[in-house]
Amino acid sequence: RPVPWVAPPRRRGRIGAGAVVPAVAAVALLSAGCGSDGENDKASIGERGKAKPSASAPAARPASVEKLGKVMGCKPEITTDVDDYRQGVCHLGKKNYVFLSFVAAKGQRDWLDYAQMYGGSFLVGNRWVVSAESMGSLKAARDKLGGAIEKSTAYKSSPSASNPSPSG
């Protein structure tokens, strides 16, 4: 199974800096297959936060990683527990989810800004974020958890940045 990604902790983290880039790249690859259906195109980099949950979705509220998992029907395996946030991974059949809960909204926004470099789509609620391998999985999570799907594309990226030449 792919390794879930993490952003570097802001204070006294328990994850080595060398683990951050490979982990972020793993989630970017998971999210790369998420195509656009046009429903949330306005939640791209320049218009983050303007997407609205569907009318039938419950209102987003603060939740722990464990509570997010419980609502989705799984028990998350905690992979990161630092001062600013916690992260857990759940496997529901063929669907894999990464749940994050944040101590403060600023920490969540900082994390999302950092994740923006790698592109992808995220379900964003009040001090929590969910990442999944497909847009369908994110929509299923939104129906149960509320929140808004935010999409971004990697900026300042080029083929040579992700695929170094064999001579280099």
Domain-wise residue ranges, the chain: 17-155
pLDDT of res. 135: 93
Going by pLDDT thresholds of 50, 70 and 90, the confidence category of residue 152 is confident
Please tell me the distance from the alpha carbon of residue 146 to that of residue 158, in angstroms, as a whole number: 34
Please tell me the distance from the alpha carbon of residue 71 to that of residue 109, in angstroms, as a whole number: 23
Q: Cβ distance 1 to 92 under 8 Å?
A: no
Q: pTM (2 decimals)?
A: 0.59
Q: Cβ distance 121 to 35 under 8 Å?
A: no
Please tell me the distance from the alpha carbon of residue 44 to that of residue 42, in angstroms, as a whole number: 5
Residue 160 clears pLDDT 50, i.e. is over it: no
